[in-house]
Every structure is written in structure tokens, then in C-alpha cells.
Amino acid sequence: MRKGMSHGARSAMFAPLDQLGRAEAVAARLVDAITLGLLADAERLPSEAELAAQFGVSTVTVREALVVLRQRGLVETRRGRGGGSFVTAPAGGPSPSWQDSLRAVSLGELRDIGDHYAAIAGAAARLAADRSSTEDIQRLELATADLRSATGVEVARAERQFHLEVAAAAQSPRLTQEEVQLQRACGGLLWLPLGSGEPGGHEEHRAITEAISDGAGDAARRLTEDHVLNAVDRLAGLHLDLGP
């Protein structure tokens, strides 16, 4: 699996906060960046001064946020020459089991999650077809290749990163933030690592990437919406098979 993410996704994650001076908000952004793979394991974070400037907060606020991350085991701070704050990404492995995750939601809730996600992801794909750069397309092609080679729990992470790349290619920080929030809330459910195979199939990802590359906005939106709703249909069938 490749390391790192596109500049657009990372820029959106480190955009100034709407509510200034809140260590909890800074910590939440950094947690999302780590758990969604925007920051790689062992990657060195920007300095406290740089983070403060990016988020539009004080260095004291950043320092408080880093304390929270250290307490959660997501960051370690090293002293001395070559020191700083370094990411300690959590190990893979779904918890609770995907069966328990599915049982925790009703079929109606699952459909509603899918509708919301499809609307956001579809809009991002349409805009990406109009606005994506050559670098964005290259990132999407790499993300598609990652999905083709991923196995086990890596499939779910690669799926989530693919959609983050699409959102970043839309060149809309607000839309990328919406994608991040949806991934935080329900991405783990939609792209459950079910043990074998791939949630949507390699051909769907390839078709989405090609439509964006060709500038076919309506096709990119439709293909992305279908991809998300196909995943929901698959999960709905598994939900019924699980029973009460």
C-alpha cells in the first residue's frame, strides 16, 4: 500500500477551524487524519507553531491537543535532535466484528446512511471531473491500483482512501471535510472488511476514475452513486441473513 495522501485532502484536513481556541477540535481533526490514513504511521507532524498557523489557533491550544493524542496512543513525542511529534497509527483489525456492526443499525438507518453518502460522494465525483488536475488523476489511479492489490482489512482502508482522493480532486475543502465527517460517522460501516473480496469490485473504481479523467461529470456522479448504493444493497442482504 502506498504512503501518504493527496495535497488537497491534507490541506482540507488542516484548514483553519471555524471555532478557534478549542483543543478538542484540533485533536479531532488530527485523529481523523491519522485514522483515515491522511497521516502515515511514523510520520512527523508539523511543528506546534506550524500547526497553530494552519488551524488558526494558539500554540497552547495545539500543545493541549497533542496531549490528548498522546494519551490516546496516536502520537509520541521525541526529545532532542531529530525530535518532534510522530504518528503512531492504530493497528488494523475491525472491532467490534462486522456482524455486530451490522446488527447495531436497522435496515432503514442503513439505507439513509447510503443515501447521504451517495449524495456527497456523487457530487464530489461530478466536480472532480470538471476540476481535477493531472496530479489528482494520478492519485486516483494509484488509489484504484491500491484497491486492486489490497487484501483483508486493507480493502476497507483502501476504499475509504479512494473516496477521499475523489473528494480532494473536487477542489472543494468544504466538500472534502464533509467526506471526512461521513467517513468518521459511517465509513467504517459502509466499507466493512468482510474477510474476502472487495466491497464494490475493481471495475467500479476503474470506471469512476476513467469518467473523472475524461471530464464526464454526469457519468462520474452516476457511477459513484451506484457504487455506494451497491455497497448498501450488499450490506442489506447480509443484514437480513444475520437475523435478529
Is 102 in contact with 238 (CB distance < 8 Å)? yes
Amino acid in the structure at residue 165: E
Report the DSSP pairing between strands 84-87 and 75-78.
antiparallel
Q: In this structure, is residue 1 part of a structural domain?
A: no
| Domain boundary, last residue among 87, 117, 137 | 87
Query: pTM for the whole thing?
Result: 0.70
b/e for 167-187, b at 16 or more Cβ within 10 A? bbbbbbbebbbbbbebbeebb
Q: Are residues 223 and 122 in the same domain?
A: yes
**Is the predicted pLDDT of residue 3 greater than 60, yes or no?**
no
**pLDDT, tens digit, for every residue of 42-89?**
889 999 999 988 888 889 999 999 998 998 888 998 887 888 899 987
Residues 27 and 83 in one domain: yes
Summarize pLDDT for 95-145 with one digit per residue, the tens.
Answer: 456 677 788 889 999 999 999 999 999 999 999 999 999 999 999 999 999
Same domain, 134 and 226: yes
pLDDT band at 197 (very low <50, low <70, confident <90, very high): very low
Q: What CATH number is given to the structural domain containing 67?
A: 1.10.10.10
Phi, psi of 224 (to 5 degrees): -70, -45
**Domain boundary residue, one of 35, 63, 87:** 87
Mind giving me the DSSP string for 107-174?
A: HHHHHHHHHHHHHHHHHHHHHHHHH--HHHHHHHHHHHHHHHH--TTHHHHHHHHHHHHHHHHTT-HH
| Residue 52 lies in domain | 7-87
| Residue 34 is assigned to a structural domain of this protein | yes
Q: How many domains does the chain have?
A: 2
The CB density around residue 82, as the number of other CB atoms within 10 Å, is: 7
Q: Assess whether 81 and 122 both reside in one domain.
A: no
Boundary-marking domain end, from 57, 87, 117: 87
CA dihedral 132, 173, 159, 227 (to 10 degrees): -70
Query: Are 110 and 230 in a shared domain?
Result: yes
The CATH number assigned to the domain holding 222 equals: 1.20.120.530
